[in-house]
Amino acid sequence: MMKDIKDKLKTVLEKPELIDEYRVIYILSCIRKILDYDSELSAEHQNLRFYCN
Protein backbone atom coordinates (compact mmCIF):
# COMPACT_ATOMS: atom_id res chain seq x y z
CA MET A 1 0.00 0.00 0.00
CA MET A 2 2.71 2.47 0.99
CA LYS A 3 4.68 1.68 -2.16
CA ASP A 4 1.60 2.32 -4.31
CA ILE A 5 1.05 5.72 -2.74
CA LYS A 6 4.71 6.66 -3.16
CA ASP A 7 4.66 5.53 -6.80
CA LYS A 8 1.58 7.62 -7.55
CA LEU A 9 3.10 10.63 -5.81
CA LYS A 10 6.36 10.22 -7.71
CA THR A 11 4.48 10.06 -11.02
CA VAL A 12 2.70 13.35 -10.31
CA LEU A 13 5.85 15.10 -9.09
CA GLU A 14 7.84 14.09 -12.17
CA LYS A 15 5.65 16.38 -14.29
CA PRO A 16 5.97 19.82 -12.69
CA GLU A 17 4.61 21.58 -15.77
CA LEU A 18 1.25 19.88 -15.19
CA ILE A 19 0.83 20.85 -11.54
CA ASP A 20 -2.33 22.82 -10.95
CA GLU A 21 -4.61 23.35 -7.95
CA TYR A 22 -6.19 19.91 -8.27
CA ARG A 23 -2.84 18.17 -8.39
CA VAL A 24 -1.60 20.11 -5.37
CA ILE A 25 -4.60 18.82 -3.43
CA TYR A 26 -3.86 15.32 -4.69
CA ILE A 27 -0.20 15.64 -3.65
CA LEU A 28 -1.17 16.81 -0.17
CA SER A 29 -3.63 13.95 0.20
CA CYS A 30 -0.95 11.42 -0.78
CA ILE A 31 1.44 12.94 1.73
CA ARG A 32 -1.27 12.78 4.36
CA LYS A 33 -1.80 9.07 3.66
CA ILE A 34 1.91 8.43 4.05
CA LEU A 35 2.00 10.35 7.32
CA ASP A 36 -1.07 8.47 8.59
CA TYR A 37 0.63 5.18 7.80
CA ASP A 38 3.95 6.06 9.51
CA SER A 39 3.44 7.66 12.94
CA GLU A 40 7.18 8.21 13.46
CA LEU A 41 7.44 10.13 10.21
CA SER A 42 4.30 12.05 11.12
CA ALA A 43 5.83 13.12 14.43
CA GLU A 44 8.91 14.42 12.61
CA HIS A 45 6.84 16.45 10.13
CA GLN A 46 4.06 18.01 12.19
CA ASN A 47 4.05 21.25 10.20
CA LEU A 48 3.61 19.37 6.94
CA ARG A 49 0.81 17.36 8.50
CA PHE A 50 -0.85 20.60 9.54
CA TYR A 51 -0.89 21.87 5.96
CA CYS A 52 -2.15 18.54 4.65
CA ASN A 53 -5.22 18.95 6.86
Write down the H helix ranges in the chain: 2-13, 21-37, 39-44, 46-52
Domain hosting 31: range is 2-52
Q: Would you state the pLDDT for residue 45?
A: 92
Smallest Cα–Cα separation from 36: which of 13, 22, 28?
A: 28
**Mean pLDDT, 10 residues at a time, over the chain (53 residues)?**
89 85 91 91 91 87
Number of structural domains the chain divides into: 1
Q: Would you state the pLDDT for residue 1?
A: 80
Return d(Cα 13, Cα 16) in angstroms, integer: 6
What predicted TM-score, i.e. pTM, was given to this entire model?
Answer: 0.80
